[in-house]
Each structure stands twice: as structure tokens, then as C-alpha cells.
């Protein structure tokens, strides 16, 4: 049996051994159970106590001896449901506390925070942050702005092949100014061309109070720099929109 499934319910290997042996042998004493699983009685009893707490084991007395027995395996579904309820409750509690945490974070909003991400895994982290940040906004505000470039576009596609599909699924739109010729529309996007002959390697994303710059370092490794600052974001957005209107 694949015990990984039981580990996902929070059981350790000793507890799993105890539970499976009880299923196999039925009602049994601590002493006999310890012999069967090759553990000392103290460790076995601790495991039984833990299994009782979560509802997988019960006991009864027969001739003044304590015998332990496993509960019906369907009890596992009840434990899983309880964990799901606890996760949902924790999620709701976190949602209520996020605005308070944001208010603490915003006190330092005038001080730019810069983060460096390397390789394609780092680029994907930035793109995940974009989708997550934009998804929290009202639908009518879910539009970000980019300066796209050929080289960096290839790195972005490698890092997150299904990014565009995920963006569209989340109903996030984008305005794109292509630095060079080329590029096509995919959905919920609008594109204008600067029309330069240079193949710029820098891809700039302007979104949700942040600016991200995706390029390559001196060793030709993909890198991304994420700057979190409302004033920098507003300035970059203003410049973008001025150029956007000029290009129409």
C-alpha cells in the first residue's frame, strides 16, 4: 500500500504502521501490537494515543486488559473533511487580516523595494506575482501595461508557456507597446508598435503599483528586477500612456 496517501493526512510512519497492523489483526493489546511492529511499548502507546485523538483508533477492556481496534477506514474521509474545513476557516481569517498587513506595508510605500530574480524560475515568480496582484483588483481595473521585446518575450514564454491563457482566464487585459516589429494579439490585449529596428532585450511590465524589468545579464542568463513603489509605478504608467496615445 502507498503510505504517502496516509502521510498527507498528517500521520507519521510509526502511526501508519500501527493503524495498518490494527486493520490486519483487529482488536489487540499494546504488548502484542508492539511485538508485531517491532517498536517498544512506550512508542506504540504514544502512537495509539495520537490515532485515538484523530479518530482512527478506539479501545475497550476485556478481562481487565486494554485492547485497541481500528475504526472503519471510511473515517479517513471524515478526517479529510475536517482538515478541509480548517483550511477554509484559516483562509477566511487570513483574508480578514490581509488589509491590516497591507496598511503596515504601505507605511513604507515611499521607500522603493527592489528584488532580483534569476533564470526562468525567477521570471515565472514575477509573472505569478503579476497574475496574483491583478486578480485582487476589481475587474474594470484589471489592465496592465508592457513594453515588449523579442528576446525577452522568448524567455517569458519559456518560463511560463501558458501565461497568456491564464491571463485571459483571469480576465486580465494588457496594453502592449512593441519596441520592435512583430508580435500578434491573443485576446484581451491591445498592441501598438514603436517600430524600431533594434532588438531590445528588455521587457518592462507596469502593474499594480510595481514595475518589472526582464532582461539578460552579462552571462546571457535571464534575470528580472521587480521594483515595488507607487510613485515609480505612477511615473512609468504616465510615460507609457503618453507614448501610447502618441502612437495611435
Q: Which of 52-66, 120-134, 157-171 is predicted least confidently?
A: 52-66
pTM for the whole structure: 0.59
Cell of 65: 486488559
Exposure of 232 by Cβ count < 10 A (0-12 exposed, 13-18 middle, 19+ buried)? middle
Judged against a pLDDT cut of 80, whether residue 181 lies above it is answered with no
Domains, the chain, ordered by start = 4-75 (1.10.10.10), 112-247 (3.30.870.10)
**Distance in angstroms (rounded) separating the CA atoms of residues 227 and 212:** 6
Cell of 44: 506504540
Contact in structure between 27 and 70 (CB atoms under 8 Å) = no
Q: How confident is the model at residue 106 (pLDDT cuts 50, 70, 90)?
A: low
226 Cα distance to chain centroid: 18
Q: Could you list the beta-strand ranges (E) of 93-231.
A: 113-118, 143-148, 173-180, 189-196, 203-207, 210-216, 222-228
Inter-CA distances, 69 with 29, 36, 46, 92, 139, Å? 9, 15, 15, 37, 55
Q: How confident is the model at residue 214 (pLDDT cuts 50, 70, 90)?
A: very high
- The average pLDDT across 236-241 equals 95
Contact in structure between 227 and 126 (CB atoms under 8 Å) = no
**Distance in angstroms (rounded) separating the CA atoms of residues 39 and 43:** 7
- The average pLDDT across 91-117 equals 77
Q: Considering the chain, what is the average pLDDT of its residues?
A: 87
pLDDT attached to residue 142: 94
Amino acid at each position: 500500500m502507498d503510505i504517502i496517501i496516509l502521510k498527507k493526512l498528517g500521520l507519521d510512519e510509526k502511526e501508519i504502521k500501527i493503524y495498518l497492523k490494527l486493520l490486519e489483526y483487529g482488536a489487540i493489546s499494546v504488548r502484542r501490537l508492539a511485538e508485531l511492529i517491532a517498536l517498544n511499548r512506550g512508542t506504540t502507546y504514544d502512537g495509539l494515543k495520537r490515532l485515538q485523538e484523530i479518530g482512527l483508533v478506539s479501545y475497550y477492556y476485556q478481562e481487565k486488559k486494554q485492547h485497541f481496534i481500528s475504526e472503519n477506514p471510511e473515517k479517513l474521509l471524515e478526517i479529510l473533511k475536517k482538515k478541509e474545513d480548517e483550511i477554509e476557516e484559516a483562509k477566511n481569517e487570513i483574508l480578514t487580516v490581509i488589509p491590516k498587513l497591507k496598511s503596515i506595508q504601505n507605511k513604507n510605500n515611499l521607500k522603493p523595494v527592489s528584488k532580483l530574480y534569476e533564470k526562468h524560475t525567477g521570471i515565472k515568480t514575477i509573472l505569478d506575482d503579476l497574475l496574483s496582484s491583478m486578480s485582487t483588483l476589481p475587474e474594470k481595473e484589471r489592465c496592465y501595461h508592457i513594453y515588449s521585446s523579442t528576446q525577452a518575450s522568448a524567455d517569458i514564454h519559456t518560463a511560463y508557456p501558458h501565461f497568456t491563457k491564464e491571463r485571459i482566464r483571469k480576465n486580465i487585459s494588457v496594453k502592449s507597446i512593441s519596441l520592435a516589429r512583430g508580435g500578434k494579439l491573443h485576446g484581451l490585449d491591445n498592441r501598438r508598435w514603436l517600430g524600431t529596428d533594434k532588438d531590445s532585450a528588455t521587457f518592462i511590465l507596469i502593474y499594480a503599483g510595481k514595475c518589472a524589468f526582464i532582461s539578460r545579464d552579462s552571462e546571457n542568463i535571464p534575470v528580472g528586477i521587480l521594483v515595488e513603489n507607487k510613485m515609480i509605478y505612477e511615473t512609468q504608467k504616465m510615460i507609457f500612456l503618453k507614448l501610447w496615445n502618441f502612437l495611435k
